[in-house]
Structure 1
Amino acid sequence: MAKDDPINVEYELKAKNLLKAELKRRGITYVELAKKLQERGVSENERNLTNKISRGSFTTAFFLLCMDVIGANMLQLET
C-alpha cells in the first residue's frame, strides 16, 4: 500500500486522533508523554512527539507503547 493511498491516509488520521484523544482524556501533555517514554528507555522530546503525532505516520509499535505508558488499556474504535 502506497504512503499516499487514501485508505492509508484515512487510517493514519484515525490513529493520530485516537492517540491525541487518549492524551487529552487523561490530561497528559507531550512533555509528560516524553517523560513517560523516557522511563521506558525511549528518547523522544516534546517537539519530536508533536511532529510525529501531527503527521500520524507513526508505527503500530509506537502507538501501542504510548497507549501503554499513559495507561490506556482499552480503546473504543468507531465503526
Structure 2
Amino acid sequence: MRKNRAFSSHLSYMSSSARSQDSAEVIGHETVVDFSREAKLALRAELERRQLTYKDLAARMCEVGFRETPKSVAEKIGKGRFQFAFFLQCFYALGVDVVRIHIPSRPDIAVELARLHGVQE
C-alpha cells in the first residue's frame, strides 16, 4: 500500500473545513461530500496505523470467518464502494471494538451554527 498526501492527512485528522474542501465535489450550487472517498481513507488510515497491508487484512478477515481475498479487499477499498457491513467487518477483523467516524460538516449548517453563536464570517 503506498502512501499519498490525502491518505497521510487522514492520520492527523484534518480540520473539518480542510476535509470538506479536500473531499467534496460541487453539483449545481451545492457542495456534496465524496463519502466513498471518506470511507476508503478511514479504512486505509486504520491499516496504516497498524502497519498492515490489504493482504494482512484479508488474512485476518478469513481468520474470523469472512471470505475475502487480498484482491477483493484491495478492489473494494480502492474504489471506496462497499457496504457499511464490509466496513464494520474490516474493523472487527482488526480487533477494533469502537469505531469513531468523522462526518464532514455541511457548509450550510456550519454557517447557520456560526450565525446562531454570533460568529462573524
TM-score by length of 1: 0.79
Task: Tell me the amino acid that sits aligned with residue 27 of structure 1.
Answer: Q
| Greater than 6 Å deviation, 4+ residue runs | none
Where relative contact order (Cα < 8 A, 6+ residues apart) is larger, the structure is 1
Within 5 Å, give how 1:60-71 maps onto structure 2: 60-71=84-95
Q: Which has the higher strand share?
A: 2
Within 5 Å, give how 1:10-25 maps onto structure 2: 10-25=34-49
Aligned residues: 73
Q: Distance in 1 between matches of 2:94 and 2:65?
A: 15
1:78 positional shift = 5.5
Q: Which has the higher helix share?
A: 1
TM-score by length of 2: 0.54
1:70 positional shift = 1.2
Partner residue in 2 for 1:51: 75
Give 5+ residue unaligned stretches, structure 1.
Answer: 1-5
Q: Distance in 1 between matches of 2:35 and 2:103?
A: 12
Identity of aligned residues (%): 36
Structure of higher CA gyration radius: 2
Give 5+ residue unaligned stretches, structure 2.
Answer: 1-26, 105-121
Q: Distance in 2 between matches of 1:69 and 1:63?
A: 10
Instruction: Pick one of 51, 55, 59 that aligns with 1:27.
Output: 51
Partner residue in 2 for 1:75: 100
1:11 positional shift = 0.7
